[in-house]
Amino acid sequence: MKKTVLVLNAILTLAVVSCKKSTESGNKSVMKSDGSEPVLADNGKVDSTIQYNMDVNGKKSVKTDYVYKATDGNLVKVTFNYDENTMSVRSNNKTFILNKIESKGNETTYEKMDMKATVKGDSLILDQGNNLIQLVKTKI
């Protein structure tokens, strides 16, 4: 009986010691906060979909990619670069980079030459001359 209690006690002690985690262990792919200010989305709220990208020199950039769907069914990739205040629109192997002109909190306008983009909520309206293209954010 004493041997059984001692063996069980030893096994329990080993289990507790081996399962102990230090504060530095755990999921290594979780990014720790560097104490910088939160990045605001174009609607003025904290954007929870922010992706931090590091270049070769260690510079952190903030980009968010979305897929929008046009009324004719075509898919368009839109990338918001918060560091450079730009938006790039990629469709049919062509990329257009537009500069942020103004933000009214819930509506943001991007523009370059004759192309203008208005982002409001989940909708994106591209205006290029006489062409008006309405896009809606998808959940792909």
Domain ranges of the chain: 51-137
| Res 44: pLDDT | 62
Name, in order, each residue with C-beta under 8 angstroms of 92's C-beta and a sequence gap of 6 or more.
74
| CATH class assigned to 51-137 | mainly beta
* Whole-number percent of the chain with pLDDT over 90: 26
C-beta of residue 69 within 8 angstroms of C-beta of residue 138: yes
Q: Which two tokens stand for residue 90?
A: 């990629």
C-beta of residue 119 within 8 angstroms of C-beta of residue 113: no
Q: Which residue has the higher pLDDT, 103 or 4?
A: 103
Q: Which residue has the higher pLDDT, 58 or 124?
A: 124
Name the 3-class secondary structure at 105: coil
Residue 83 has pLDDT above 60, yes or no: yes
Name, in order, each residue with C-beta under 8 angstroms of 121's C-beta and a sequence gap of 6 or more.
43, 106
C-beta of residue 65 within 8 angstroms of C-beta of residue 75: no
Q: pLDDT by residue (tens digit) across 21-66?
A: 555 555 544 444 444 555 565 556 665 555 566 677 777 677 788 8
